[in-house]
Amino acid sequence: MPESRLIAFKWVGVVVLFSMAGWRIWTWMGSGTGVSEKAFFYDLSEKRLFVADRGLIPPITGVNDAVSDGVRAVVVSTNGHPEVRSTWVVAYLETNAPELKEQLEAAKAAGRPPEIGRAAAQGLRLVRRPGDAAWVSLGSPEGEQIVSEWLQIGTDSSPPVICTP
C-alpha cells in the first residue's frame, strides 16, 4: 500500500473515532437534567403507589375516586440500585395540613412565595410511616426520626437511595 493511502486511511480512522466520541458525548449531555418531573404518591384508601406531577401539593385526588387521599411517598431502594423495582420500599409518607395546603396553592396560583415562614411550614408538614395510623409534624422529634429512618435500611455494602419515577 502506498504511503499516501496509508496516511489517508489513518486520517479517516481518526475522523471516524472523533465523530463517534463526539456523538456519545452529545447524547450523554443531552440525556436530561436527572430531575424527574414526576413524583411518587400513595393512595391511602387503596394502599398503593401511583405517579403524578411533582408540583402537585398533597393531599391530591387518589387513583380510585374523587377523594383527596393521595399523599407524597418517599420511595427508596434498599440495595442502592433504584432500577431494581423489587428493592423498592415506601420509606415514609408526607402531606400538608389543610391551612398549609391552602397557602401553598394560593401562592402557586399568584406566582409568588408563600407568606408563611419556613419554621411554621415545617410544623404544618405532616409525615408518617405507611403502617402508622397517625400523622406527626415534620418539625417534631418523631417526625425527624421518621424521615431519617430510611438511611438505616440498606445493607453494609449498598446504602439505600431515593427512587424517582
Residues 62, 27: one domain? no
Digit-coded pLDDT (tens) for 102-116? 999 999 999 999 888
Q: Which amino acid is at 139?
A: G
156/77 same-domain check:
yes
Segment 86-98 shows an average pLDDT of 95
10-37 core/surface letters (b: 16 or more CB in 10 A; e: else)? eeeeeeeeeeeeeeeeeeeeeeeeeeee
Residues 52 and 130 occupy one common structural domain: yes
Question: Could you tell me if 27 and 59 lie in one domain?
Answer: no
> Between the ranges 33-47, 95-109, 149-163, where is the mean pLDDT highest?
95-109
126 close to 138: Cβ distance less than 8 angstroms: yes
Same domain, residue pair 49 and 18: no
Residues 1, 51 share a domain: no
Whether the predicted pLDDT of 34 surpasses 60: no
Indicate whether this model's pTM tops 0.95. no
Q: Are residues 25 and 44 in the same domain?
A: no
Structural domain harbouring 110: 38-162
Residues 78 and 118 in one domain: yes
Report how many domains make up the chain.
2
Whether 60 and 11 share a structural domain: no
- What confidence score (pLDDT) does residue 54 get? 93
Domain shared by 44 and 118, yes or no: yes
